[in-house]
Amino acid sequence: MPAFKITVNGKPHTVNVEGDTPLLWVLRDELQLVGTKFGCGIGQCGACTVHLDGDATRSCLLTVGQVEDRHITTIEGLSEDNSHPVQQAWKEADVPQCGYCQAGQIMTASAFLSHNPNPSREDIRGAMQGNICRCATYVRIEKAVALASEKMS
pLDDT single digits (tens) 42-86: 999 999 999 999 999 999 999 999 999 999 999 999 999 999 999
Q: Is the pLDDT of residue 26 over 90?
A: yes
- Rounded alpha-carbon distances, angstroms, from residue 7 to 31, 114, 117, 130: 11, 20, 26, 26
Cite the residue boundaries of each domain of the chain with CATH code 1.10.150.120. 85-152
Fold held by 3-77: Ubiquitin-like (UB roll) (3.10.20)
**Angle CA 129–78–26, to nearest 5:** 85
Q: What is the pLDDT of residue 100?
A: 93
pLDDT exceeds cutoff 90 at 1: no
What is the Cα–Cα distance from 116 to 29, expressed in whole angstroms?
33
How does strand 11-16 pair with strand 3-8? antiparallel
Question: What topology does CATH give the domain 85-152?
Answer: DNA polymerase; domain 1 (1.10.150)
pLDDT-derived band of residue 115, with 50, 70 and 90 as boundaries? very high
Average pLDDT on 88-116 reads: 96
Q: Where in the chain is the domain with CATH 3.10.20.30?
A: 3-77
Angstrom distance (rounded) from CA 111 to CA 123: 13
